[in-house]
Copies of this chain bind each other. A is one copy, B any other.
Amino acid sequence: MKESINKSLEIKKVKPTAMRQLVLDILSKQEHAIGLPELEAQFAQADRTTLYRTLKTFVTKKVIHSIDDGTGTIKYAICKDTCQCNPNELHVHFYCTKCEKTTCLTDIAIPDVPLPQYYIAENINMVVKGLCDKCSKKN
């Protein structure tokens, strides 16, 4: 709803323009992560650039996080209000090769990996590919 969307934007210090409210509203209703092309498709008429820049702003301000699922199109999904996208609070993502949906496994934290000496981690992307629960049952 409108209220919680404005609250999210306020928390993350993003000016709540009409466009941004709309985009965030759509994103918040998604069951799966979506990409710019899919987002664009949800509008009867909207400019790709504006949506592109809205997503970019959202990512910078940590309203949403981006997911590189290996399909060639970056996906996006909402962050929790408390999320700061630090390496230690990141979760695993899942890409289903059958239904081609990308899911946030919000409950599964990315495990800590030991890096070789002098390597410094700033961010981690972990995507498991395979069959999602719905698709694995349909066999």
The residues of A with any CB-CB pair to B shorter than 8 Å are 68, 70, 92, 94, 97, 105, 107-108, 110-111, 113-133, 136-137
* A-B pairs with beta carbons under 8 Å apart, 19 shown: A68-B68, A92-B113, A108-B114, A108-B115, A108-B116, A111-B113, A113-B126, A118-B136, A119-B128, A119-B130, A119-B136, A120-B136, A121-B128, A121-B129, A123-B129, A124-B126, A124-B128, A125-B125, A126-B127
Smallest Cβ distance from A64 to chain B, in angstroms?
Answer: 16
> Across the interface, do A119 and B92 meet the contact criterion of CB distance under 8 Å?
no
Q: Is the CB of B131 within 8 A of A117?
A: no
Contact check, B125 vs A126: say whether CB atoms are below 8 A apart. yes
List residues of chain B with CB within 8 A of the CB of A124.
Answer: 126-129
